[in-house]
Amino acid sequence: MSYSYSEKDRIRLKLILRGKRLGFELSEIKTTMDLYENQPNGIAQLRYVLGVIENHRKTLEQKQNDIKSTLADMDAVTEKLMAALNTLEEST
């Protein structure tokens, strides 16, 4: 038995998948879709989505900074360990 999805169903699926790719949680995607259905001109939806994107952007930027800092720490430790290893190898 095959099921034929409506155009509306296909659009909703595309929006859900796009939202997931952008890092939206399902609850955020649902809110966005509910806003669109209740206010088709999209003003509230656009404001909501812009806010969610801004929050995700800030989170990702913080994670990026944390990763850069961790990598710098790892580089410093690696350099010290390599120096200690070289010293030990030269003395044997």
Q: What is the pLDDT of residue 62?
A: 97
> What tokens does 14 get?
């595309």
pLDDT value at 46 more than 80: yes
Over residues 50-77, the pLDDT tens digits come to: 898 899 999 999 999 999 999 999 999 9
Rounded Cα distance, 59 and 91, in Å? 48
Largest separation between any pair of C-alpha atoms in the chain:
77
Helix (H) or strand (E) holding 12: helix 7-21
Q: What is the value of pTM for the model shown?
A: 0.65
Band of pLDDT at residue 42, cut at 50, 70 and 90? confident
pLDDT value at 34 more than 90: no
Q: What is the pLDDT of residue 47?
A: 87
Q: Which residues contact 52 (CB under 8 A, 6 or more apart)?
A: 24, 28, 32
Over residues 75-91, the pLDDT tens digits come to: 999 999 999 999 999 99
